[in-house]
Amino acid sequence: MGHKIYVWGSSSTSMAYVPQTSYTSAYVGNIPIQGYTTSGSFVPMTASCVIEVTVDADNDIVNWQFHGNQAGCAPYANRLE
The identity of residue 73, as a single letter, is: C
Q: What is the pLDDT of residues 12-54, one digit of tens each?
A: 999 999 999 999 999 999 999 999 999 999 999 999 999 999 9
State mean pLDDT over 2-6. Answer: 93
Q: What are phi and psi of 70, to 5 degrees?
A: -60, -40
The identity of residue 67, as a single letter, is: H
CA distance 16 to 70: 15
Q: What is the pLDDT of residues 56-66, one digit of tens each?
A: 999 999 998 88
CA dihedral sign, ordered 60, 67, 19, 43:
negative
